[in-house]
Structure 1
């Protein structure tokens, strides 16, 4: 941004560069008399001549050269001041501290961050991937600006900016014999191998509650506490799994896996929440990130899941 501190400084710099009132007026798109008046008023107020009037134009006096040098310096410093203002606003400089659960390391969050980085290439993105409990502590202690976490505990120190409910369902390879079903009960799946999410995965407790409720004992079981490994095994048609839609939505969108929602209202869905600290002063760029993530959460989950009903 190049904004002079006064109309005079703009006129003065243009006359100094052109050495001619007419040329300066043409560049400024004003009359010659307006330029002359500004220069004359300044010289009168400063009580010193800034230009020598020559037959072929104007030439800076010693005082004029000193002023010219100072205005150049002031304009440069003004640009730096504007940059500092932008840093405060968070739109030209600065960093965003974002916390994510591992399930979001691929998919819509990466798309949002890529768009943000494209629009604001000077932004520094500090991204932490960890368990929800760890992220909640870091949000509360203001170590990160915002976090996407599962099942946040109600706290006066935690602001939930937005949230979506994530259903649980059966996940399998498109080639699996059960993949043609639009509805499945747990009893229909007991003859096939179950890939069971183990602790400390958040989905583990929900899945074990399902098995206990229906006294279900799958004939064959594979345990894993790594969602990516579970996905890989499902893609290889090594069994089926009870998972949240969040765990597999990216693979489902790519038609690499099938998701069949579990029709059991007694099993609570997971809650994916976008949270920040209640006392955290968020920059404008962090606020923009929150708005964009909220919109994409709605699109990816609420809108997509409507198609399952």
Structure 2
């Protein structure tokens, strides 16, 4: 994801701030200079000047590139906040001028790009067509760090652990379920337990899925059930869907990413229960806690919140 354009976002700040942030992102002075379209010597000079002014090294020079020192980490948090706040101010000034422009960086999961993210983008396009959106696909564990580092305005993910640097903007709690073909004996059930999935091979999401922990806990509880066996692991929603469609077993996920197959009747999602209680997976939209969102990101967050509200109301 691209940093805010230095030509616009940084005019009111010392150039060293933008150069430092570019080096932090790139991990090298040469790559930062290429991205900024300036000479490497100019970038290096700015970093050296900042280190002299602060009286502390900001980067360790390693064979594989540059790494932030403890002092650099402290400065990085300040710079991220400054740059994001400058972006917010710029977007508000644009709004005053009637421009209603801006750019949003979102990081999310592959399965949420089938229906959830496109619906929010379409709603934004209908109201504010001059706002652009970039969507990056990351694993669940990497999404919070992308927000905290300033690489993304927003993150959309399942089961994000609470962190003081993150704030939750919207949430939907979706039933976790077994995904089966329509001719499966389980397809007409209103709900099932994990133990009742014994027989066919189980297709589990890989460890990069946040709800893998929930599924493992259910498997542990049903571990003594005869015929319960894990046949496959898959690292994407698309792969799990294809495996079920080919008759390879039963997969476990929420309805997010299955929309087209469920609507066409090619797959059936049967909610998992533990006793009489449904197993719910929390899908949340997150931003940095310390920084106000730019107007463009706030507008997109509102539309995404509307989509999540509909998901929550429909049970996923």
Q: TM-score, normalization: structure 2? A: 0.63
In structure 1, list runs of 5 or more residues that go unmatched: 1-82
Write the distance in 2 (CA, Å) between the matches of 1:84 and 1:209: 47
Match of 1:246, SS?
A: coil
Deviation at 1:267, TM superposition (A): 7.8
Instruction: Give the one of 249, 254, 263 matched to 1:239.
Output: 249
Mapped pair 1:225 → 2:235? yes
Call closer, same or farther: CA 1:138–1:220 in 2, change over 3 Å.
Answer: closer
Contiguous gaps of at least 5 residues in structure 2 = 1-90
What displacement does 1:90 show? 9.2
Q: Which residue of 2 aligns with 1:276?
A: 287
1:245 Cα deviation from its structure 2 partner: 3.1
> Which secondary structure state, in structure 1, belongs to the residue aligned with residue 309 of structure 2?
helix
Secondary structure class of the residue paired with 2:134: strand
Normalised by the length of structure 1, the TM-score is 0.64
1:178-221 deviations in Å (ceiling 9; x for gaps): 21222323333212232222322223222222121122452572
CA distance in 2: counterparts of 1:171 and 1:100, whole angstroms: 22
Q: How far apart are the structure 1 equivalents of 2:109 and 2:178?
A: 21
- Report matched runs for 1:117-196 at 5 Å: 117-196=125-204
Q: Aligned pairs, how many? A: 224
**Larger C-alpha radius of gyration, 1 or 2?**
1
Equivalence for 1:76: none
Q: Which 10-residue stretch deviates more, 100-109 or 119-128?
A: 119-128
Change in Cα spacing, 1:84 to 1:288, as seen in structure 2 (3 Å) is: closer
| Cα 1:258–1:279 shift into 2, 3 Å | same
- Structure 1 212/244 Cα, relative in aligned 2: closer, same or farther at 3 Å? same
Residues 298 and 253 of structure 1: CA distance in aligned 2, closer, same or farther (over 3 Å): farther
Q: Deviations over 1:78-106 (max 9, x none)?
A: xxxxx993267895322111111222111
User: Is the 2:193–2:272 Cα contact (8 Å) retained in structure 1?
Assistant: yes
Output the CA distance in 1 between the equivalents of 2:301 and 2:98.
Answer: 13
1:212-240 per-residue CA deviation (whole Å, 9 max, x = no partner) reads 11224525723322221111121233321
